[in-house]
């Protein structure tokens, strides 16, 4: 907060490194203020509101929770940065990453959370279902460090819901089918992403996956994130895994499953509706590689087999 209230026109934040090397960037305070005000209006936060923070303030999600509390005149409840999240008092907004949700639900304190804001990584279907079953009013954010946290939100309880733009944000797509964000309120004005989406309107979209993760197997475009979700829905007890590509002499590329433990390939292939997109093999890699703030690093099969 000393940095936020300093005379400098920017705040420094670290990117996660999930799509490239981690780096430190300078975020205009004017952009952070626009974002904070929009979130406070959306969630009805004001003087007397309690915002809870179990996230590191090295990253934008943590920084923005502190700024939101300052902007709305509320109280910031600082919690340990841990997956064992527990809230001691009723809170109006709690921000978490998906890996912290099981701990929150196990703590028995989720009922004290009026609104839950989830971001930082894709939300597994099983975790979303657990939140819905617990009656938690949870929202999934879409955004990045450069946009000062989320520019769109969708309700977790409705798996078919689209992301809806925050005020002052509109969307389009480029020739790759990737999301382009537009806003006259932010310094970036127009920002092109590497996220493939189904654009439903200038203010709504469904996320498909990262363009830099797409596997081109004999002309069939495979989004690993969608394939992973399909497998997890059919086989929810599988250990952690991800799908990536390896070279194939006939098809150019083929999908491969990287898992924390041995997994039988046959049930995995049977769980996929289009067998052409099913993983060709499974590599048991042990603990999956992650960035410093817990995001998955999709390293190629050669990393584990050489």
245 within 8 A of 256, measured Cβ to Cβ:
yes
**How far apart are alpha carbons 68 and 119 in whole angstroms?**
16
User: In terms of DSSP bridges, do strands 178-182 and 190-201 run parallel, antiparallel, or are they unpaired?
Assistant: antiparallel
Strands of the 50-53 sheet, one edge to the other: 75-78, 50-53, 93-96, 116-118, 138-144, 149-155, 163-165, 204-210, 190-201, 178-182, 170-173
pLDDT tens per residue across span 152-191: 999 999 878 899 999 999 999 999 999 999 999 999 999 9
Cβ neighbours, 10 Å, residue 177: 15
Helix, strand or coil, per DSSP, at residue 101? helix
Tens of pLDDT, residue by residue, the chain (306 residues): 899 999 999 998 877 654 455 678 899 999 999 999 999 999 999 999 999 999 988 889 999 999 999 999 999 999 999 999 999 999 999 999 988 999 999 999 999 999 999 998 778 888 899 999 999 999 999 998 899 999 999 999 987 889 999 999 999 999 999 999 999 999 999 999 999 999 999 999 999 988 989 999 988 889 999 999 999 999 999 999 999 999 988 888 999 999 999 999 999 999 999 989 999 999 999 888 887 666 788 888 988 875
The one-character DSSP state at 28 is E
Establish how many alpha carbons lie within 13 A of residue 290's alpha carbon, considering only the half-sphere containing its beta carbon.
14
pLDDT tens per residue across span 68-109: 999 999 999 999 999 999 999 999 999 999 889 999 999 999
Please give the distance of CA 50 from its chain centroid, rounded to a whole number: 23
CA distances from 170 to 33, 81, 189, 298 (A): 19, 34, 10, 30
**How far apart are alpha carbons 197 and 295 in whole angstroms?**
21
Q: 60-72 vs 29-43: helix axis angle to the nearest 10?
A: 70
């Amino acid at each position: 907060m000393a940095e936020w209230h300093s005379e400098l026109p920017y705040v420094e934040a670290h990117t996660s490194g999930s799509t490239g090397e981690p780096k430190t960037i300078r975020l205009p305070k004017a952009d952070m203020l626009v974002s904070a005000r929009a979130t406070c209006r959306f969630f009805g936060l004001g003087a007397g509101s309690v915002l809870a923070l179990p996230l590191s303030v090295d990253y934008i999600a943590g920084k923005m929770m502190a700024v939101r509390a300052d902007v709305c005149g509320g109280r910031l409840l600082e919690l340990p940065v841990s997956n064992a999240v527990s809230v001691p008092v009723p809170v109006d907004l709690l921000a978490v990453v998906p890996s912290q949700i099981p701990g929150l639900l196990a703590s028995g304190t989720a009922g004290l959370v009026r609104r839950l804001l989830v971001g930082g990584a894709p939300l597994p279907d099983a975790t979303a279902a657990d939140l819905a079953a617990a009656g938690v009013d949870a929202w999934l954010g879409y955004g990045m460090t450069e946009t000062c946290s989320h520019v769109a939100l969708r309700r977790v309880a409705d798996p078919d819901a689209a992301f809806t733009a925050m005020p002052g944000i509109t969307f389009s797509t480029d020739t790759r089918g990737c999301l382009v964000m537009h806003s006259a309120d932010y310094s970036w004005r127009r920002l092109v992403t590497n996220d493939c989406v189904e654009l439903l309107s200038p203010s709504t979209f469904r996320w498909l996956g990262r363009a830099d993760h797409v596997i081109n197997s004999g002309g069939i475009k495979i989004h690993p994130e969608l394939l992973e979700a399909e497998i997890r829905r059919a086989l929810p007890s599988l250990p952690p895994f991800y799908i990536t590509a390896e070279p194939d002499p006939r098809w150019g590329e083929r999908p491969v499953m990287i898992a924390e433990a041995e997994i039988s390939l046959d049930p995995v292939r049977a769980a996929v509706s289009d067998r052409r997109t099913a993983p060709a093999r499974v590599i048991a890699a042990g603990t999956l590689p992650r960035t410093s703030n817990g995001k998955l690093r999709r390293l190629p099969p050669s990393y584990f087999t050489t």
